Structure formats: C-alpha cells, structure tokens
Amino acid sequence: MDKVVERFLKYVQFDTQSEESSNSCPSTKKQYEFALFLLSELEKAGLKDAVIDDNGYVMASLPLNAADAPVIGFIAHMDTSPDMSGANVKPRLISSYDGRDIVLSRENNFILSPSVFPELLAYKGQDIITTDGTTLLGADDKAGIAEIITALEYISTHPEIKHGAVKVCFTPDEEIGRGADLFDIARFGADYAYTVDGGELGELQYENFNAAAATITIKGHSIHPGSGKNKLLNSILLGGELNSMLPRWETPANTEGYEGFYHLHTFNGTVEKTVLQYLIRDHDKKKFLERKNRLEKIVNYLNDKYGKGTFSLEMKDQYYNMREKIEPVMHIVEIAKRAMELSGVTPVIKPVRGGTDGARLSYKGLPTPNIFTGCHNPHGKFEYIPVNSMKKAVEVIVKIVELSAQRHGDYSPA
C-alpha cells in the first residue's frame, strides 16, 4: 500500500496543467510527456497493451483470469486545473496530524485551518499530504491515477483474485471539459467503468449537474467623459446591471447539495466592450432549462432598454446529469457501494457539484459512476489528501474488480 503514496508523490512532479485557449489535444504538450511516462508505469504494474492514441489518451488492459465476467474499466485524468499553477509542486507530508492549524506558507500567511476546513479534524492522527502554499497539489486527479495503477498491480500479482478483463484509460483535458471529447469507447471495450475522480473518503456519485456555458458580449459607446452626458454608454456598468438581475444567493458561494447556481467566472471590460462568462448549473433538468431561459429574458429586456444589439448572448450545453443513464444499470453502483463496505469504508452517496468525464461517457454509451480519491479542496493551494484515504481507494478498486466477476456469491469458473 505504501506504493500508492510513492507513485502519487512522483506523479505530482509532472506539471500537467491544461489550457483552455489551446485547440490541440492534449491542450498542452506537458500532458503528453506525462502520458509517455505512464506507459512504463502501467507495463511495470503488469498491464498489457499499453498505448497512447493520437489524441493523448493512455489505455491498457489487465487480462482476465475468470470466464463469463463483465469487462470493467477505471478512468482518471492526467491534467490539473488551469485555476492555479501545477508547476514545481512541493508536497508536504504531515505525519500524525495533531488537529491544529497547518501553516502552508509563513511568508504569505497561508494556513490550512480546521476553523475554515472543519473536515480536517476527521483525519486527526493520520498522515496528510498538503501543498506548500504556492501551487495546487494535483491530487485531482493524480491520486486517482496512482490508486488505479497500485490496485491493478496488486491484482496482477495475486492470481487467486478471480476477475474479468479490466481496462484502464487516463484522459487529457478533463479540467477544461474535453476529457470525453475524443475518448474511443469502442477501443476501450468495457461494459461499464468508474471514474476515480471523487473527493472525500467514501464518496460515490452517480448524479452530476446539467451544465451550460454562457458568454455575454456588451457593446458600449466611448465618449470623452467631459462631454459624455446622454452620449456615453459604459459597457462595464451595463455588465454590472445584468449581473445584479440574477438571483443574488444562487452562486457557488451560497449553494450546496442539489442547489444550482449561476457562476460569473470571467468579467473583462472597457467602456466600449465588456464580456461576461457564466457557468449555469442545476441537477434538475427542468430547473436547468429555467435558468437558461431566465438569462435569455434578462438579455432581451436589456436590449429593449438600451437598444437592440447592445447585448449578445452565446450559450451552449456542456453535459447532462448522468443519473438518467446510470439508473438502468444500478447494479454497478451497488457493486461500488458493497466494495466500500467490505473495505471498511462508509459509502457517502452524494451528487457531483460539477461534471466528470463519466457524465459524458455515460451519454455516449459507457455507464460510468464516480468513486472517491480522498482529495479535499482541489484546484488551489489548500488542496490536501489523507494517506489512509488513498490506501482505502486502492482497496475499494480491488474489491470492485473482485465483486464484478462474481455470480451469486461465487466466482465464475476459471
């Protein structure tokens, strides 16, 4: 089990940040460099047919040793978020966490504190891996990669564990919403799969947001401010007016669970032109459509007020709630749940407040719920992961493989 930590600490040394403005796949060359390294890791772990396709997707297989068993898969992504640097990561191992504040950076006064992150106290006495306060950690999702490889290496060296064929895929560009774009499901060849990309210990997810992205462009009129009365139209102020018309409390900072939101994540403007970019999210399909309609109505109202063409809206759906595709095959969720229970982990079934590769893959015909890595606070300097949670994730993956090959409590004949 110590191998999962060794692998993880090695993998986070690779800067694999994805780039939304890039049109290539992978979006950054450094992801491909990590992919090449993972080929050798998979081969050392006993997997076969390890390859990188033309788009940077890494695939490999663990051959079956039990007949009449489903082909299952495990998926994790190689890239880290563009939200914060993943270069020159310096992970810190906090041994036997004492429940106090963890000073990440004295110089910048960055403190990982249970007063802000109370879930930390659940790991008192355990070893925790944190950042040094200058980068993200990369547990999202290099922890998932390390856990998958470690679990399948264990299975490959323990032939008494009967199993069907197991497929692995490590994808690029999940963090910029493209992880499933060029995923070759036919080549992957699994009946169903699990993304190992969740958060805290025990997370099991088969629901996620319905998601859309909206870009609103506002045209103003720049006039010298000394003679601007009744002439100057400040597009920055119009952007503020539009945002103020959205429900004040329906933002990521004020919502949880099944509550949807509007997220203004980019606001760039001058008097002459301002661009706002929103993420629109809701688990409920009806509410999701209502959110999109509301934004359209606001834009139409403001165009009536300030003149047609002042506001333009581009909106596109990104992904949908995978629950619709998972419910017909709920046994794959039950397998994961039972695997956790057998590993001494309490399942925490909750919706994903975001999206995963699994959501889009489920709509492409590969049902793919999501299981935990153990990671907390991804995409930033307060990211951390308890070592025990990583080890438990390895156990759960092994159990999923084992349970998937069983029929009525017995192994299929070899």
Give the containing element (helix H, strand E) for 267.
Answer: strand 261-269
Is beta strand 348-349 parallel, antiparallel or unpaired with respect to 92-94? unpaired
Please tell me the distance from the alpha carbon of residue 53 to that of residue 296, in angstroms, as a whole number. 40
Low-confidence ranges of the chain (pLDDT < 50): 408-414
Please name the residue ranges forming H helices in 248-312: 285-306
pLDDT at 1: 58
For the chain, give every domain's residue range: 2-207+322-411, 210-319
Any idea what DSSP says for residue 376?
B
Q: Which of 19, 41, 173, 174 is catalytic?
A: 174
Q: Which tokens in the block code for residue 38?
A: 């993972």
DSSP 8-state symbol, 352: B
Catalytic residue among 79, 282, 383, 402: 79
- The verdict on whether 141 is a catalytic residue reads no
Q: What is the pLDDT of residue 2?
A: 87
What architecture is the 210-319 domain classified under in CATH? 2-Layer Sandwich (3.30)
Q: ∠ at Cα 60 (90, 149), nearest 5°?
A: 40
CA triple 288-235-265, angle to 5 deg: 40
Closest listed residue to residue 263, CA positions, set 220, 217, 209, 310: 209
pLDDT of residue 407: 55
Distance CA 356, CA 207 (A): 10
Q: Is 174 a catalytic residue?
A: yes
Q: Can you give the pTM of this predicted structure?
A: 0.86
Q: How far apart are CA 186 and CA 320, in angstroms?
A: 22
Quick one: pLDDT at residue 406? 87
Give the pLDDT score at 356: 79
For 2-207+322-411, the fitting CATH number among 3.40.630.10, 3.90.470.10, 3.40.50.300, 3.40.190.10 is: 3.40.630.10
Amino acid at 204: L
Tally the residues of the chain. Answer: 414
pLDDT value of position 413: 34
- Residue appearing with tokens 């990671």: 375
Token reading at 225: 């401010």
